[in-house]
Structure 1
Amino acid sequence: MSTSGLRGRPAASGRAAADRSARADRSRTFPPLPPRSGARGLFAESWWGSAWLDALETTALDSARLARGRTYARDGHVDTINVTPGRIIATVRGSRPRPYSAEIRLRTLSDQEWETLLGAIAADPGRLAALLAKKLPSALAEGDVRLLPGPGDLVPRCSCPDHGRPCKHAAALCFQVARLLDTDPFVLLLMRGRGERELLDELSRRNATHTARESRTGSPGPEAPATGGPTAAAPPAPRGVPARDALADRLRPPLPPPPPLPDHPGRPPALPDADGLPFDPAALEFLAADAAARAHACVSAARTPAPGGERAPLRGPFPELPPWDDAIRLAATAHPTAGLTAATRALFRDLAAATGRTATDVARSVAAWRQGGPEGLALLDTTWNPPAGDFDRARSALIAADLPALRPRHNHLTDPERGIQLRFGHDHRWYPYESEPGAEDWWPTGPADPDPVGALTTLLAR
């Protein structure tokens, strides 16, 4: 059998692997940044973060929208941020229950511009050292290839009905991106088209090529004397660590403690559209989000001491759910904060068709799961009669707090004229619901609260 047709495959396979690695490196997802309570004055701390905001503020048509966006960012209304070449997206929670999808677009650099920029970094080791220290040298940012955006370079978009440029949601996203740039200027380089790992690999390759060229030609490096005879140049200093030293037995320090468990599982990166791909990106994101939720639950269980001081065994978060409950769990996990976007509508339609329900049933059930997990979903369609105790004392507590008196029935406290309701769960928490006044179309609203006064106060403030 001839092997001539196989000779090119290893190289092709290597290129394919490199392409996959580059694509993965060109998408970064950042969890929601914490609120900046009481923060005033300059929003960005670095000069390049301030320059980013200057590009936004110099082209904004309404300073009031900017101020509102700054407040949204400071108060933590911007959820998970995804950065890819030329595009930044995030959901931003406004005054309505469902968040909006905000987006900022920025032109990526051409191949020639990247060649010029990489040459400028490789020519000055100090610039690379500054980048590795998470600082952006001004000579690099404002050199022949301009990295920072100028007036009009940032193109905001948002799913909200406000056509301002930018609206407050897109402005809030811009302010939060400035905070990301403060801590990591490689985010700016990713916006311009290339990821951190591929940039460092390319700079390492250029440095190795330059070193090999010097070794072949015998030309002195930067530290060699500029004058002198054949014996004036010192032999090159050894590089790296000998293998025998690296592999020798020695006392090694203990491993660092594991990082803290985040409050919520991470979100998978945004995938491109399905055109030309051998899989469904929406289905893959769906499964990745579910895997992250299960892993988060397992790690959380492993870190929770049992009554006897032992660690709880690793197990799945909801191992024995009925098919309908598990379908709702998957839907809520795949889109934990998203509103009715095109992706969620398609998902709800598919689940409704597969289970014999309506898309409205699915949406209402997903809201109930987000409100309280299995207990929240159970309270959506079933009632129960609580024993004497917390449920009976709740009405007195509401009246004492000068809140509306609610009519009890089973485990519900209801004011139909106002369209508000509290449902008491088996977990002794109060689940707020709302409906159009006089209608019986109840929807879960807001998180559950162990205190009926807190739950009703939050519901009335909406």
Structure 2
Amino acid sequence: MNSEYEDERTFAALPPAHGRGFAQSWWGLTWLKALEDTALDTQQLKQGRKYARQGAVGAVSVRPGRITAVVRDRDGTPHRADVLLQQLGAESWDRLLDVVSGEAGHLAALLDRDMPPRLVEDAAGAGVELLPGIGDLDPECGCEAWDHCLHTTALCYQMARLLDQDPFVLLLLRGRGERALLDELQTRSAARGARESAESEGASAGSGSYADGTAAGEGPAGVDAEEAYALGAILPSPPGPPALVEFPGDGPVLDSGAAPPEELDVEALKFLVAATAVQAQRALAEALAPGHADSSLPEPLGTAQDTVRLAAAHPGPRVGERLTAAGGRTSAELEPAVRAWEFGGAEALAVLEEAWSPEPDALARVSDQLAALWPEEEGRAESGRVLRADGNRWTVAGSGVQLRYGRDGRWWPYRRERGRWWPAGPAEPDPGAALATVLSEG
């Protein structure tokens, strides 16, 4: 973009659009539909689209009610092309600003360069049509064509690319620049917040007056800044943390009575909603636990780990099959992975699936811990409990029992079942405790 002013924005010529559509956003596609439904000559549409695709449209100037660009013919002849769109009147802008400021999600979406359908629907409900319809795009061109020519058509296709990137361009075309629009929205949001606060205070103090005794209609008298600062020590404390939620909430009812789209797996969606509720409840409990503020953030889960986490929630067979396929494991491999997750989450899963060798210093300490399990060498031999080492894994010979040493220094008990090693319990700081867990089960 070369320049930006309050009432005009000029965008540098865009590169040719080889191999891509002119619009991906729904509002950009709606803009093109208004053009294509209006133009009478489909051949001009095709030629204009070709011109735009080849980069024949120069810098585009956008200002209230009009977009302008120079479009060059194949022989280089320049033509000034303009497309006009009616600006919104003062009353329409007033209603539109009320719609946007009335819901935080609308403004957040615009700031994220998005225009959700609900915003446009809410605006239409207030009598404001944001997007153009049939006949709303009025062409003017130096080639003196009376309808949309290939030059104004090329300009419209190029405009769709600009709208895709920034819906504020459409609002400027309708009459308001981004800066003025945001300033007005901020003013309205502040006024709305003050009004709601005053109404709340008035309601708590009884009809006819505010909480400070000011008569309704006069507005709160306010407090001097120095006085407010001096009162800081006796003002109410800020609200504390939220209360622990004992049970995860129920998901929404998804049965609307209408048949779902073929591509929507309702069973999978219900499962994901329920699993998310459980995860949210667990995350809140962790956040409220002592020392949480000083703890480090966990590493984000990869797809293979996350499928195990979801499978540990025991979904139905169809969802289970999808998780198995997505995680890159067979069903036989997923079973012990799920059991590991149930014993210790991502750390337990890593112990199941990763083989590694401790550093020499760590190995010496580990060996001392294991030697303490049977202090007498002859007693160890008599019991038949000989430990065979393989990296971070120590197997009790002839018993189908194994200890695995985690990277965090904890010990995990394992048992051999159906020809595969399975987690047999949670981690223990002491190898003897971990071994006792698995031996007692035997």
TM range (shorter): 0.3 to 0.5
Instruction: Tell me the TM-score normalized by structure 2.
Output: 0.43
Instruction: Tell me the TM-score normalized by structure 1.
Output: 0.41
Q: Which has the larger radius of gyration?
A: 2
